[in-house]
């Protein structure tokens, strides 16, 4: 039983890696099997829905894993959540020699008509991250509206920086985005204190 779980887990992890590197279109059964080392029969045993089920499971796994990092960071406030989110992407980018990006973005920029349910799942994942981050920001004294806007800005800026990092093969865009987001956050916090 444990061996079966290991095979399934390896396949999901492999699908996440392929999704990060090649997008939804690159997640084929052959690519997942080659990367995971799983036998072909494993696909229909663990994923009777075939490729679509593998991609869906990979997206959910990645969204939850990244969401847990955002959850943990948000407990300690905006700066810690931002630092952990950025550290995650820096490690992924540098560890993959800038070939891997965000699997959730990979789904979100894919053709909607090909898999509308995946697109909806990606939207839900982004919303979870935004809500968690906004809750952490609001705990630091900012209004709910400002916290939501800052959370949206932060996720959009970091995800955009990941794309730039891949294109430039450098972590510099992440550093620049973090620096400016911290300035924006500090100014919003100061403004909130002055208007109380």
Instruction: Return the closest-CA partner of residue 56 out of 131, 125, 128.
Output: 125
Task: Please report the pLDDT score of residue 62 as a whole number.
Answer: 96
144-160 confidence digits (pLDDT tens):
999 999 999 999 999 99
| 3-class SS of residue 98 | coil
Q: What is the pLDDT of residues 98-121, one digit of tens each?
A: 999 999 999 999 877 767 899 999
User: Is residue 142 over pLDDT 60?
Assistant: yes
Count of Cβ atoms closer than 10 Å to residue 185 Cβ: 21
pLDDT (0 to 100) of residue 3: 57
pLDDT of 193 = 83
> What's residue 167's pLDDT?
96
pLDDT score, position 4: 59
**1 pLDDT higher than 60:** no
Top CATH class, 59-194? mainly alpha
Closest among 11, 6, 183, 24 to 105, alpha carbons compared: 24
State how far the Cα of 153 lies from the Cα of 138, in Å rounded to an integer. 15
Domain ranges across the chain? 59-194
Q: What angle do CA 77, 89, 113 make, to 5 degrees?
A: 105
70 CB neighbour count, 10 Å cutoff: 23
- Structure confidence by residue, pLDDT tens digits, 42-91: 888 899 999 999 999 999 999 999 999 999 988 888 888 888 999 999 99
Tens digits of per-residue pLDDT, 165-183? 999 999 999 999 999 999 9
Q: What is the DSSP letter of 171?
A: S
* Tokens linked to 91: 């490690």
């Amino acid at each position: 039983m444990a061996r079966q779980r290991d095979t399934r887990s390896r396949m999901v992890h492999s699908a996440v890696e392929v999704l990060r590197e090649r997008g939804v279109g690159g997640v084929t059964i052959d690519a997942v099997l080659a990367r995971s080392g799983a036998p072909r029969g494993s696909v229909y045993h663990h994923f009777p829905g075939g490729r679509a089920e593998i991609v869906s499971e990979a997206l959910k796994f990645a969204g939850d894993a990244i969401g847990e990092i955002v959850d943990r960071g948000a407990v300690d406030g905006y700066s810690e959540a931002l630092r952990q989110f950025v550290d995650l992407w820096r490690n992924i980018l540098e560890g993959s020699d800038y070939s891997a990006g965000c699997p959730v973005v990979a789904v979100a920029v894919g053709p909607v008509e090909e898999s509308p349910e995946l697109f909806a799942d990606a939207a839900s994942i982004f919303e979870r991250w935004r809500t968690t981050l906004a809750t952490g920001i609001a705990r630091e004294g900012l209004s709910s509206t400002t916290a939501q806007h800052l959370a949206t800005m932060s996720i959009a800026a970091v995800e955009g920086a990941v794309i730039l990092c891949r294109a430039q093969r450098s972590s510099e865009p992440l550093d620049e985005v973090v620096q400016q987001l911290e300035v924006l956050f500090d100014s919003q916090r100061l403004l909130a204190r002055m208007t109380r």
